[in-house]
Amino acid sequence: MVASETPGKRMTVMQATFIGVGSMVGAGIFALLGAAGDVAGSAVWLSFLIAGAIAGLQGYSFAKLGSTYPTGGGLLTYLSRGFGEGHIAGIGAWLFFTAGSIVVAMIAASFGGYASSVVAGGDPGWGKALGVLLIVVMTGLNAIGSSAVARVQSVLVTVVLCILVVFAAVTIANWNPELLAPSGYPGVQEIIASVALTFFAFLGFGVITFTAKDLPNPTRQLPKAIYLALAIATTVYVAVSLGVFGTLTAEQVVEYGTTAIAEAAKPTLGEAGYVLMVITALLSTTGAVNAGLYPSIGMTRNLASIGQFPPVFGRSIGRFPVGLLVMAAFATVLVVGFDLTAIASIGSAVALIVFSTVTIGHFRLYRTTGANLIVLVIALIATLGTLIVFCTTTLVNEPATAIALLAIVALSVIIDLLWKSRRDARRSHAGDGAPEGDDASTGS
């Protein structure tokens, strides 16, 4: 499939990049520093760097696939191309939809934590309520259309990046090198284990694959957006984590949790710095929820059109696409019912499973996409290795999260089997092998 210049598509490379950066930065810097510091200590910057390299390998795979198969279905189209429209692609689609909801939920919960510290003294109930409110508002913005999403995202990400660059420069200029001395780092196993958690901070780059439907020339523009977004995010993560852990002890970062970056601004910028970083966190997490909800529309419509999802996902209720409403509703349930760390752990594991499956499917397509097979093998080993380490370290210590992960995988399998069984029965009943009415679709 070759994309050509398409009139009427107005998203630019930078806007597509900012959708990815906004999704990543909101999840990474403001939500994970405390949790990652609890595992990797002051070596969190190294954990971010390794996670960024792994994401870069996956980004190479996605860029090659995206330039060959640019559709609104994003990386789920790549699954279908690699495995056909069968159960592997279907289960992967349900898993990714779940992972997207988890990402939105985690970032919304982070927003709620910051917002409640401003208006309600950090009250957890207010934090959940404000997180849900953000999901509702951003759902409304996404219902308006991709142009509105892109414009808002560009403004938010530009402001956030400018402030984070200033923060990193100021804190690094005044850091205490002893706090970052390698002698204080934990063992290699702990650092590798933390990579599975910090990799969550890069999950947003997968959102960029869904911008293909809005780019004038996705064949050339999509890879540029993916590479640029990963480069920006990795640089920001490493610089900010160096500034934070060069200012605060690892114990302090863990204690402050989601507000650690704001606390790290105090020594050099005073209370004004704290307030500025809280505002930045609110803007960043707002942009991340906005970007996280964005792919739900094109993704579910595409999956409904080819029969992977029920046809209801291709419909709208008023101006609100059903896929967007379902993702928002699921994210709301997660915000209300789970704590921040649990959400991050489940999201990381699900995304690693989906990304690994996409790469395996790419092995069947690499001659068509022109990808380097060696790079794909390294990408798969790195991603699967991260997943294995994550399961044998983090999940072992979080049995409730492990059970929830198994339940999500099992539920995805059951939903896919039940839907495909019902779909095929209706096609058989129609007598011509095609879906009835709203189910009419074409495979890809």
Spell out the alpha helix ranges (H) of 208-259.
Answer: 218-245, 250-256
pLDDT at 435: 47
Q: Which of 91-95, 127-131, 284-288, 354-358 has the lowest mean pLDDT?
A: 284-288
% of the chain exceeding 90 in pLDDT: 18
Q: Which domain holds residue 45?
A: 14-422
Backbone angles phi, psi at 320, to 5 degrees: -100, 110
Closest CA to 49 of 217, 271, 237, 262: 237
pLDDT of residue 71: 79
CB neighbours of 231 closer than 8 A, spacing ≥ 6?
A: none
Q: Is residue 9, in this structure, part of any structural domain at all?
A: no
The torsion defined by the Cα of 6, 152, 336 and 322, in degrees rounded to 10, comes to -30
Rounded to an integer, what distance in angstroms lies between the CA atom of residue 407 and that of residue 403?
A: 6
Q: Is the pLDDT of residue 440 over 60?
A: no
Is the residue at 430 inside a domain?
Answer: no
Is-above-0.85 flag for pTM? no
Phi, psi angles (nearest 5°) of residue 394: -60, -50
Number of domains in the chain: 1
Instruction: State the DSSP string of 393-432.
Output: HTGGG-HHHHHHHHHHHHHHHHHHHHHHHHHHHHHHHHTS
Residue 118 in any domain: the answer is yes
Q: What is the pLDDT of residues 383-416, one digit of tens each?
A: 888 888 777 776 777 777 778 788 888 989 999 9
CATH number of the CATH domain containing 377: 1.20.1740.10
pLDDT of residue 344: 61
* In a domain? residue 431: no
Rounded (10°) angle between helices 13-40 and 218-245 = 30
Question: Does residue 434 fall inside a structural domain?
Answer: no
Asked whether residue 437 carries a pLDDT value surpassing 60, the answer given is no
Q: Assess if residue 234 is contained within a domain.
A: yes
pLDDT, tens digit, for every residue of 148-177? Answer: 777 777 788 888 888 888 888 988 988 888
- Mean pLDDT value across the chain: 82
User: What is the predicted pLDDT for the residue at 432?
Assistant: 52
> Would 141 be classed as within a structural domain?
yes
d(CA 55, CA 443): 30
Q: What is the pLDDT of residues 47-86, one digit of tens each?
A: 999 999 999 999 999 999 988 888 777 788 888 898 888 8
The answer to the question of residue 343 being in a domain is yes
pLDDT of residue 26: 65
- Residue 16 pLDDT exceeds 80: yes
**All residues at 6 or more sequence positions from 157 whose CB lies less than 8 Å from its CB, including other chains:** 18, 21, 22, 25, 287
What does the pLDDT average to over 223-243? 92
Q: In the chain, what is the straight-line distance between the N-terminal and C-terminal CA atoms, in Å?
A: 10
Residue whose structure tokens are 């395996």: 360
Percent of the chain whose predicted confidence (pLDDT) is above 70: 91
Q: Which of 14-28, 89-103, 242-256, 364-378 has the lowest mean pLDDT?
A: 14-28
For residues 112-128, one letter each, b for 16 or more C-beta atoms within 10 angstroms of the residue's C-beta and e for the rest, the string is bbbbbbeeeeeeeebbb
Arithmetic mean of pLDDT, 171-191 = 86
Asked if pLDDT for residue 289 goes beyond 80, the answer is: yes
